Structure 1
Amino acid sequence: MNFGELLERSLAYALGSVAETEPGSLGRATPCAQWDLRELLGHLDDALDALYEGVTGGRIGLFPGAGGRPDPVCDFRRRACVLLGAWAALPEDGRRVTVGDRSLDARVMAAAGAVEITVHGWDVAQACGRPRPVPDALASELLPVARCLVGDEDRGVRFAEPVDVRPGALASDRLVAFLGRRLDSSSGRGCRTSPPSL
């Protein structure tokens, strides 16, 4: 698996969703409980900050920065480009990243970030009223990553309970349903408010 490419594809998908955000829509409800669209975009921005910290400094702080940025859509686009540039400059053998008292490979961090960015890109599209399935190849690669990262202890804290999908469902539907999203609504049941989960 090419982790840089996975991160790039997740960002491309999320950027496509964010591009649908219209002025005046930032108060809309999202699939994330207690977050409106502005807060969700702020969380995405915090996730990109955390990934950037990990790539450039080898450490991720446990608490997100201050929110309330004046243009969260523009900020997300800019930070996505900065993150990809930093990843491209990372040595081929990668690096270790410290999160709290744990150390992990930067590639694992990138895979976790790709899951978070992609699913929140899906959330943004739902909130904008223009649902966009995650591309099949991307969703198929992210689903086993999500299954490794999200355990029972995360349910009700960072993610809602998994949602059943019909047999033969698209990889996109299986991915978002595993992460607690309902495919038929933006009912605020998909995620829980918490710091970036990297």
Structure 2
Amino acid sequence: MPLMTRATERTSGVVRGVRQEQFGGSTPCAEFDVRDLINHLEWVADLFESLGRGGSMTEQGPYAGDFPDRAERTLAAWSRPEAWEGSSPGMGLPMATLGQMYLVDLVVHGWELARATGQPYEPEPGAVAQALDFTDQMVEMGRQRGAFGPPVPVPDDAPAIDRLLGLVGRDPSWTP
């Protein structure tokens, strides 16, 4: 939970730093421009709030510009001990697995948005290490479900964030 909280705070800070004139800019995720990526983050927050409360999958709605508020509700849902127990009726996965998935989303999408908008982004080393370890175990399932792209080769001695990005199909050297 502390790693989720800090990753959420850092990504929320990046979202708050995006200027409206940057909305049409490209991102490391070819399917999203900046506005679409923020909208995706809004959906991620809604989805994981619902799942954290034992709910179902949610549909992505239109851009609302309120990711930080939605993310706070997600953290509130997951701050309850029972949120981490059992399996999700909405996704059929252990709740702890879903918590890890949220962490990966926040770290990776926070990096993408910061890179796309020229903002600094320094994810917490513990969050990156946890996300990398989890992703390394789940990468094939993630690719099968379309969550991750083909791997991008990075050196074995690259920083952990670069190895995480390469594993999920992002080029750590991407620039707009």
TM-score by length of 2: 0.88
Judging by fraction of residues, say which structure has more strand.
1
Does the Cα contact within 8 Å between 1:162 and 1:181 map onto a contact in 2? Answer: yes
User: For residues 43 and 170 of structure 2, what CA distance do their matches in structure 1 show?
Assistant: 21
Where relative contact order (Cα < 8 A, 6+ residues apart) is larger, the structure is: 1
List aligned pairs for 1:94-173, cutoff 5 A.
94-99=85-90, 102-151=91-140, 154=143, 157-173=146-162
List aligned pairs for 1:18-97, cutoff 5 A.
18-56=15-53, 58-61=54-57, 64-69=59-64, 72=65, 75-91=66-82, 94-97=85-88
The structural deviation recorded for 1:66 is 1.9
- The sequence identity of aligned pairs, in percent, is 26
Q: Which amino acid aligns with 1:29?
A: S
The structural deviation recorded for 1:143 is 0.4
Question: Unpaired segments of 5 or more residues in structure 1?
Answer: 188-198
Deviating above 6 A after TM superposition, structure 1's stretches of 4 or more consecutive aligned residues are none
1:16 to 13, 16, 39: 13
Distance 1:39 1:123, change over 3 A: same
Count residues with an aligned counterpart: 176
Partner SS, residue 88 of structure 2: strand
Partner SS, residue 97 of structure 1: coil
User: For residues 80 and 33 of structure 2, what CA distance do their matches in structure 1 show?
Assistant: 35
Q: Which amino acid aligns with 2:133?
A: P
User: For residues 46 and 83 of structure 2, what CA distance do their matches in structure 1 show?
Assistant: 22
State the superposition RMSD in angstroms.
2.3
Q: Which amino acid aligns with 1:110?
A: G
Judging by fraction of residues, say which structure has more helix.
2
Partner SS, residue 103 of structure 1: coil
Does the Cα contact within 8 Å between 1:29 and 1:186 map onto a contact in 2? Answer: no
Question: Unpaired segments of 5 or more residues in structure 2?
Answer: none
Partner SS, residue 89 of structure 2: strand
